[in-house]
Every structure is written in C-alpha cells, then in structure tokens.
Amino acid sequence: MAKLAVGAVLSTMLVRFPWFRKILLTEKRDWPERLIFAASLGLPLTAGVLWRVLLNNNAADLTLSGAFLAGLLAGPYAGAIVGAMVGIPAFAAKEFAALPFAVGCGFAGGGLREICPPEAIWHFSPLFFTGLHRHVWKLVRRFEIDWVVILLAVPIGLEIILQAVGYRWPTRVFVIPGQTPVLWLCVIFATVLSVAIPIKIWNSARIEHRLQEQEKLLMAAQLDALASQINPHFLFNTLTSISSLIRSQPETARTLIVKLSGLLRRLLRSQEYFVPLREELEAIDEYLDIESVRFGPKLRVEKHIDPSTLDLIVPSMLLQPLVENSIKHGLSQKIGEGCITIRSSRENGHAMIDVIDNGLGVPAGDAARAKGTGIGLRNVNERLRVIYGANYQLQLDSVPGEGTCARIVIPELEAPARITA
C-alpha cells in the first residue's frame, strides 16, 4: 500500500507541471522531450532507490514499474535511461543484477510501445480486473490480440523474473519475497497497479486538457457565428438609412457612403474577438459620425470615460448594437434634441459600461423582452453569456418618456495578448 501511495503521489505531482502535461499530450516526441520525460521521472525514482539503500525504507523503490512505465510511454531508449538511473545506486550497493534488470524493464516497456496502439496503453486502468474475464475469453475463443491482456502480462512476467532472480541470488537484487502464496499474489498485484495508477492519473489529465481545448474551440465557433450575424445586421440598417437619403439629399448620402466604407475597412482589417476599450470607442465614433450626418444637430453625444478603463479588454463590436438601438428605438421618433451618453467606470474588479439615451423609453416589461427579440441586443447578451458565463448579461433599465440605460458589467482584463480569429 505504501508503494502504491508513493507512485500515485509522484504521478500527481509530475502532472501538475505544464511542461510535463505537454509531453504527455504528444505521442511522437523528439529527443529533447524524451530526455526531459526520462529525467523528470528518473530523478525522483532514483531518489527512492537511494532512500531504500541508505535508510532501509523499501516503500519508495519503484525500479521495475518506473523503468517499464518510462519505456511504455516514451520509448525504449527513454526506458533504458530511467532503468540505468535507478539501477546505478543499487549496483553501487553491490546489487549487481539491479542495473541490467532495470535497463531490461525499460527496453521491455519500450518494445511493447512499438507494437501496441497508443490509445490501448492509455486505456490500461487500475480496474482492469473487473473485465479481465472478458478479455481472456476473447483471446482464447477468437485468437485475437487483446492488448489489455498483454499489458497485464508483461509486468507480471517481469515481476516473476525478479522473484526468481531474488530467490536464486538474494543479495544481487532487491525484491520483496513472496514467502506465501497470498503475499506473492499481493506483490504481483502491487506491481501491476504501480504501472496502471500513473497511466490512469496521466490519462485523466490528458482528457481534461482535451476537453478544455474543445471548449475553447466551441467558444471560438460561437463567437464567429455571432460576429457573422451582427455585421450584416449593422450593414443592412446603415444601407437602409442611406437609401432613404439618395433622392432627397444625395450629397448627404454620398458622405454617408464614404464614412461607411471607412468603418467597413476597419471591420475587415480587424479579425480580433477582443480589443481594448479605446479601440472599441474609436469604432463607435466612426459609427456616430454616420448617424450625425443623418440627424445633424438633433443628435448630441456625450462621453464620460474613466481613463483607467481605456486599456481594458472588451469583446469587439459590443457597443455598436447598443448605440444603434438607442438611436433607432429611442431617439428617431423623439421630438427635439436627442442625447446619447457613453460612460465607463471600474468597481470591485469589474468594468461597467453604460449607453444611455434620453429617448422615448419603454415599459419595464418590454425592456426585459427586448434583450431576447432584437438581433442586436440578443447578440450582445449571448456573447456576454458565452464569454463570461451565465452570470454576465446585458442589463436594460428604461423609464417611459425619459430614456433607457443599457449597462454591461464584465470582469476587468488587461492583457497584451489578444485572441484572434
């Protein structure tokens, strides 16, 4: 039990290092990666052998399982290197059979790796005995190679060889003697588990990493779909506005087309999911230039931007649908001057961005439904949910006859690296 605990602790400690997880994720490793794997596994195993030789504590000696495991996962030469590392201290203590046996275990694991499918190795589990009868029956009845049986048989065979060598030359190699049938079976069982437990721990880390990668790919796909939805929506609304001015105000329509081309050029040039708030506000300025030409002095824009928020990272094209919604539904039917206020601040580790208009407003129930009906607001709300989680949603507060406030609250993030499409 102590031997299995040492193996489990060592495996858990190693998998916490990112460079070790990276090596586990690749099946075809170059020589530097093999040497790093051999060193990261061989050094603590060597320390365990020294612990046994110097302090006479046997629990940390995992010579057989460690060398075999290194060969099984990293190839015969990596297994031989680990075998040599753990065998040299024992050889120096006059256990002369320890070094060739440990190197042989490394080559045995490496040879099995050369013929065994990689996924079959990772499927080797500490609970192998629950389905062992099915694997043996398959092997006997159909004469088909079952890799679970082979992966089980090789370490058992190595332990039997070790027991035979230790029985014939007791001082030439370290062995836990199976003096009774029950103890002999326990030793065999512990050897198999010493190989299976690290594989199970490391395979769980591989699966977790792959799930995280799949979640990232899924989020990127969702963001792509949402971005491809919002850009045509914005373009359609702007072209509709231009078409209404072509006959009555051709010069104004021409000016709008020029400004629209500049804004579209920016959108085509930027393929980033996230941008600093500074760049998002610049894009809003270009959009408001278009709307200002349409509305003239009837539209007034105010900004109250906290300078400390300008470098915060926000999803791209997040504010444009909010500003467009304020103009289209809040100010377009308003008599007299309309005002849009864009405000940003920081509070308790979050960035708060408000888009406020003094338009017609809507009843409270209609404001809540608007998030799920209009393309623009629904898009913003969905992107917040996908990126930051279900707790982050667009907040709409409106008072009929006084105006509407659209508020976005997101975690603060200042990062030089950006996620690009």
pLDDT at 309: 92
pLDDT digits (tens, 9 = 90+) for 129-142: 666 656 566 666 66
pLDDT digits (tens, 9 = 90+) for 303-313: 999 999 999 99
| Nearest Cα residue to 195 out of 98, 128, 288 | 128
pLDDT digits (tens, 9 = 90+) for 162-206: 989 988 888 889 888 877 888 888 888 889 999 999 999 998 888
pLDDT at 110: 92
pLDDT at 374: 62
| pLDDT above 60: residue 418 | no
pLDDT class of 127 with cuts at 50, 70, 90: confident
pLDDT at 219: 64
Q: Taking the model in full, what pTM does it have? A: 0.56
pLDDT digits (tens, 9 = 90+) for 212-235: 777 776 666 565 555 555 456 667
pLDDT digits (tens, 9 = 90+) for 314-338: 888 788 888 888 888 888 777 778 8
pLDDT at 270: 56
Structural domains for the chain: 2-213 (no CATH), 244-411 (3.30.565.10)
